[in-house]
Structure 1
Amino acid sequence: MVWAVFQGMSRRLHKARAIPSALGMAMVAALVLVAQPTGSANAQGAAGAAPKLGPSGLPLPRFVSLKAGRVNVRVGPGQGYKVSWVFTRSALPVEIVQEFDNWRRIRDSDGTEGWVFHSLLVGKRTAVVAPWQDGDPLPIRAAPNDTAEITAYLQPKVVSSVATCEGGWCRLVDKRFRGWIKQTNLWGVYPDEVID
């Protein structure tokens, strides 16, 4: 059996202590009130319902991943807003919950939200293995079923590329392993979302 190494999710290089201007805070409050996200709804919408589209013409919410190895996350949609934290690793999955001009309001696996410039994101699908738990590793299987051979175990919080998802299972592809994991054990894909 193969054991995957724990991959920590270093995202907060520093916390900004600066207080945004009153005008900046008012603008952020207005944006939040006007376009309040509805949570982590399935990007494909309810059965038969069309997904909500953002100004870009793409569904909201939707999962993407970080393109750069250093991404400033701001308190508002613009370079004039203070940096609240910095992601220091590429390929982490984030959920876009709102769009404003060329800025995207994202949510990470901890539920923390902030604004990043659109070019720092990419449509490549990645996922975090069970970020809500600590401890026991989760099995990766040779086929998408509970009786298939276990080919690897992944620690919670490991990040991997998602190749496909179907029937409640997702195929992960990494330099060290390939295999299937239950979709409910991942953050970065919606329940029952089909990815091909």
Structure 2
Amino acid sequence: MSGIPNLRIPRPAPLFLGSLLLLGNPAANALDFRTTSRPALLYTAPSNTAGKVAIAGSGLPLEVVVDTENWAKVRDHSGRLAWIEKAALGGSRNVVVKAETSLVRTQPRPDAEVAFRVARGVLLGVTGEPDAYGWLPVKHADGMAGWLPLHEVWGR
């Protein structure tokens, strides 16, 4: 041979390979968002006797980070973590506008006519699944509907 030592490359352990497969699977990494079905208290711990953090209004989207039998640890759009009784979750899907101003379009295209404008913090109902190009169908509480880019909202 040419004086280059033979290197033995170890085979990855099956558990490690399985972990890599899960990391590459978007469904395995999907965030779990749920919406409040009614106004509900947010607590510092999973107990009605724990400290009260805030009141979550009806229709607020929350990211579930810990899920137990009766409680869920959730994150709101500001990043705050708190606990909520799971019975308060389950309303229709909503998102919060995170862009300063979003243009909701009549069709899922950046050159489509503007249906209406929404400001940061506005709740919008989700009326379907996002399309392949990242446009989400939404509806305002007053009935106006259209499409906006998925990256301009939080809660989906």
TM-score in same-fold range (> 0.5): yes
Give the letter aligned to residue 47 of structure 2: G
Structure 1 or 2, whichever has the larger Rg, is 2
Aligned counterparts, 1:43-82, within 5 A:
47-48=24-25, 51=28, 61-69=31-39, 71-82=40-51
Query: Structure 2 vs 1, CA of residues 46 and 176 (structure 1 numbering), >3 Å: closer, same or farther?
Result: farther
Query: Structure 2 vs 1, CA of residues 173 and 101 (structure 1 numbering), >3 Å: closer, same or farther?
Result: same
Query: Structure 2 vs 1, CA of residues 153 and 109 (structure 1 numbering), >3 Å: closer, same or farther?
Result: same
Q: Which has the higher contact order (CA 8 A, sep 6+)?
A: 1
**What's the TM-score, normalizing by structure 2?**
0.76
> How far did 1:151 drift?
1.1
Distance in structure 1 (CA, Å) of the matches to 2:66 and 2:41: 17
Query: Structure 2 vs 1, CA of residues 142 and 49 (structure 1 numbering), >3 Å: closer, same or farther?
Result: closer
Determine whether 1:86 maps to 2:55. Answer: yes
> How far did 1:91 drift?
0.3
> How far did 1:100 drift?
2.3
**RMSD of aligned alpha carbons:** 2.0
> How far did 1:61 drift?
3.8
1:187 alignment partner in structure 2: 154
Number of equivalences: 132
> How far did 1:176 drift?
3.5
Whether the 8 Å contact between 2:94 and 2:125 is mirrored in structure 1 is: yes
Query: Structure 2 vs 1, CA of residues 113 and 171 (structure 1 numbering), >3 Å: closer, same or farther?
Result: same
Distance in structure 2 (CA, Å) of the matches to 1:48 and 1:92: 28
> How far did 1:114 drift?
0.5
Q: What runs of 5+ residues in structure 1 fail to find an aligned partner?
A: 1-44, 53-59, 190-196
